[in-house]
């Protein structure tokens, strides 16, 4: 399916623009930040103030841009670590899966009372099939399921989805990336369905989806998604992306990049001490912790009052 490929390219294009905007942000911040170490008296006094003394509007803009880039980097790293750990946990749980060859496809079978079939693995994706799925599916249904998962393997969809998700998490200021990431996952399933139909026919895939989706496990809701049923009936998939969302995304990217360039040009000889910026967050951090603690107490009291009533 060309729609999935085109949408993934659009996702990457928007993400590249967002990354370029962040590079401009980093460059603007580095042009003004300095690593000069202030005295201990200055550090102690700075920690007691919520805002830096004599902070200009330009300095505040630079600090905001630096904070944006740091937050984006932290979110991206966190997302990549969590997604990779999730993949590793799946592979670790299935490390004892038996190798088998079904209809010319290399698969890993594992014991489970629920019929399941999925593709897992980043650098070397593999097809995993539960023994109950192997036993319940007919020959043609099994062929359709394996063709579906093999398409994911060939396209390396686990890695593609991970990259799209990490980019959406890191570039949170680009509103369209989250929708692009979700829509790509949906179109990737439809593209795999087309491969299954070519291999075994729509009837075999439809009955396989009913057996896999009607088993009561969480994946069932995904397997029986209405759009997949409509697609099997001949309905052409759509991108489902509002032009307004893409326009807002481009506006966010260009606005961020323009702000970084203007701040870098206007900064001139302005210097912001990086260590002082970190220390100035001391008071803000303490206030945030206090507010979070108060909010937690309020939610707990509200929950207890509801349970008591």
For 88, the token pair is 């590793």
pTM of the model: 0.70
What is the spatial distance between Cα 68 and Cα 114, in angstroms, rounded to a whole number?
45
What is the spatial distance between Cα 58 and Cα 116, in angstroms, rounded to a whole number?
56
Q: What are the extents of the domains in the chain?
A: 2-308
Query: CA 206, 115, 135: angle at the middle one, nearest 5?
Result: 90
What is the spatial distance between Cα 130 and Cα 49, in angstroms, rounded to a whole number?
60
Structure confidence at residue 282 (pLDDT): 58
105-110 and 117-120 as β-strands: parallel, antiparallel, unpaired? unpaired
Structure confidence at residue 153 (pLDDT): 92
Instruction: Kindly give the confidence (pLDDT) of every residue in the chain, 309 residues in length, as a single tens digit, with 9 standing for 90 and above.
Output: 566 777 777 777 888 877 887 777 777 666 665 555 556 666 555 555 544 555 556 566 666 777 777 788 888 899 999 988 888 888 888 888 888 888 788 899 999 888 888 998 888 889 999 988 888 889 999 999 999 999 999 999 999 999 989 988 988 888 888 888 888 888 888 889 889 989 988 888 888 888 887 544 444 334 467 777 777 777 777 666 677 777 888 788 887 777 777 666 665 555 555 555 555 555 556 666 677 778 788 877 777 776 665
């Amino acid at each position: 399916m060309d729609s999935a490929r085109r949408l993934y390219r659009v996702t990457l294009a928007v993400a590249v623009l967002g990354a370029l905007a962040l590079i401009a942000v980093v460059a603007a911040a580095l042009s003004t930040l300095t690593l000069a170490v202030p005295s201990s008296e200055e550090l102690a006094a700075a920690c007691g103030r919520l805002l830096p003394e004599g902070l200009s509007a330009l300095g505040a803009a630079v600090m905001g841009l630096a904070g944006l880039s740091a937050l984006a980097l932290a979110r991206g790293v966190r997302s990549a670590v969590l997604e990779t750990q999730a993949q590793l946990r799946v592979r670790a749980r299935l490390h004892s899966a038996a190798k088998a060859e079904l209809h010319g496809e290399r698969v890993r079978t594992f014991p489970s009372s629920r019929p399941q079939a999925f593709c897992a693995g980043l650098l070397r994706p593999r097809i995993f099939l539960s023994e109950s799925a192997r036993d319940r599916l007919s020959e043609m249904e099994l062929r359709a399921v394996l063709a579906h998962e093999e398409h994911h393997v060939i396209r390396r969809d686990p890695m593609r989805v991970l990259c799209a998700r990490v980019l959406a998490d890191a570039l949170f200021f680009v509103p369209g990336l989250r929708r692009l990431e979700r829509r790509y996952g949906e179109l990737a399933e439809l593209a795999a369905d087309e491969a299954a139909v070519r291999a075994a026919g729509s009837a075999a895939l439809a009955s396989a989806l009913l057996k896999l989706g009607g088993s009561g496990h969480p994946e069932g809701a995904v397997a029986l998604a209405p759009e997949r049923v409509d697609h099997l009936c001949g309905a052409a998939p759509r991108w489902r992306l509002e032009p307004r969302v893409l326009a807002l995304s481009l506006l966010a990217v260009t606005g961020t990049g323009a702000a970084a360039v203007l701040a870098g040009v206007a900064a001139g000889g302005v210097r912001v001490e990086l260590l002082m910026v970190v220390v100035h967050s001391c008071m803000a951090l303490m206030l945030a912790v206090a507010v979070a603690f108060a909010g937690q107490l309020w939610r707990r009291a509200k929950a207890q009052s509801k349970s008591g009533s």
